[in-house]
């Protein structure tokens, strides 16, 4: 007999299956993005972060992605070789290097985000308003549900 978890009377196995199905869907969507845009999830997240926060220092990128600064530097190197980002010295403090989106990076992000938007819009089309609102509510609370920090809060 499985251990009962007091979440809508779901068993441990049922919760595990929901988590697996969710991870599988995100993984498959990521694989599609890789094939369409030649961009891994890390690439996409990194480009999105840089676009949203403007030019970013390597230390900010490493902190945001919770990776060592040398790993962040290699990730930026890869994107720089594809001409998706550019590095420039910070005019206020020449010891710092700022990373910003190159025009090609901005175009790639727009195409990727358009793809996501239209895919999600099509996927939600057959659902009721209440179902859509519940999905949005759950998505907004995912960090709390999974016990990870929100992008809107610092560590």
Give the CB-side neighbour count of residue 82, counting CA atoms within 13 A.
18
> Do the Cβ atoms of 108 and 39 come closer than 8 Å?
yes
- Looking at the domain covering 38-146, what would its CATH class be? mainly alpha
Q: What is the chain's length?
A: 155
Do β-strands 97-101 and 85-89 pair in parallel, antiparallel, or remain unpaired? antiparallel
Residue listed under structure tokens 């992008």: 151
Q: Please give the Cα distance from 20 to 136 (Å, whole number).
A: 19
Q: Where are the alpha helices (DSSP H) in the chain?
A: 12-37, 41-53, 58-65, 69-81, 103-124, 129-140, 142-146
Q: In a structure prediction context, what are the per-residue pLDDT tens digits for the chain, which is 155 residues long?
A: 444 445 568 888 998 998 899 999 989 998 998 899 998 889 998 999 999 988 999 889 999 998 999 999 999 999 999 999 999 988 887 778 899 999 999 999 999 999 999 999 999 999 999 999 999 998 888 888 888 877 665 54
**Domain locations in the chain?**
1-37, 38-146
Contact partners, residue 53, CB within 8 Å, separation at least 6: 60
pTM: 0.78
Three-class DSSP category at 10: coil
Q: Please give the Cα distance from 119 to 136 (Å, whole number).
A: 15
């Amino acid at each position: 007999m499985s251990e009962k978890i007091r979440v809508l009377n779901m068993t441990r196995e049922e919760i595990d299956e929901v988590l697996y199905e969710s991870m599988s869907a995100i993984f498959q969507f990521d694989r599609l993005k890789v094939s369409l845009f030649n961009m891994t999830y890390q690439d996409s997240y990194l480009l999105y972060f840089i676009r949203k926060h403007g030019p970013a220092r390597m230390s900010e990128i490493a902190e945001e992605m919770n990776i060592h600064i040398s790993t962040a530097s290699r990730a930026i190197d890869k994107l720089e070789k594809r001409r998706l980002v550019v590095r420039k010295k910070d005019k206020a403090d020449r010891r710092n290097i700022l990373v910003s989106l190159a025009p090609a990076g901005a175009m790639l992000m727009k195409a990727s985000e358009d793809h996501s938007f239209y895919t999600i819009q099509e996927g939600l089309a057959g659902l009721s308003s209440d179902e859509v609102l519940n999905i949005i509510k759950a998505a907004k609370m995912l960090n709390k549900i999974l016990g990870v920090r929100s992008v809107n809060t610092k560590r």
